[in-house]
Amino acid sequence: MKSRSPSGGLVYSTDSGRMCPVCRQPTTSCRCKTAQAPPAGDGIVRVSRETKGRAGKGVTLVKGLALEPLALMTLGKQLKTACGSGGTVKDGVIEVQGDHCERVIEMLKAQGFSVKRAGG
């Protein structure tokens, strides 16, 4: 006999999407907000270029933004639009397809962020 989790183990529902494992509510209306905590940073945004795991295709990574998920997605959309390319926001990191480090750094500095170029 399988042991069952005391919380029921539900992590996804076809009706409402992702579920919080603690309060068993949809993550959009989570009462405990465990999944919604923004990452703590040192206040410096780091911009780098990476090709690892992408079949040689380069992407520009923006890390260290201590923003709420909605604000992070909005900023990601602005950066992708300014660079004229696609991308995504995953785990608090904005990924912009292509090598757009200089353009992203200029945009972030114009918005008042403290920015550093990371990597090579």
Q: How many residues does the chain have?
A: 120
**Tens digits of residue pLDDT in 67-95:** 888 888 999 999 999 989 999 888 888 99
The whole-angstrom separation of Cα 70 and Cα 84 is 21
Q: Which of 63, 108, 117, 111 has the alpha carbon at shortest distance from 90?
A: 63
**Tens digits of residue pLDDT in 25-44:** 777 777 775 544 555 567 78
pLDDT at 16 over 50: yes
Residue ranges of the chain that CATH labels 3.30.780.10: 44-117
pLDDT at residue 11 in the model: 57
The beta strand positions in 20-92, using DSSP E, are: 44-50, 59-63, 87-90
pLDDT at residue 77 in the model: 92
Class of domain 44-117: alpha beta
Q: Mean of the pLDDT values across residues 54-62?
A: 87
Q: Among residues of the chain, what percentage have pLDDT more than 70?
A: 76
Chain CA centroid to CA 83, Å = 18
pLDDT at residue 61 in the model: 92
Residue 64 gets the label, from left (phi > 0), alpha (psi -120 to 50) or beta, of left
- Residues paired with residue 61 on neighbouring β-strands, in sequence order: 48, 95
pLDDT at residue 35 in the model: 47
Mean pLDDT of the chain: 79
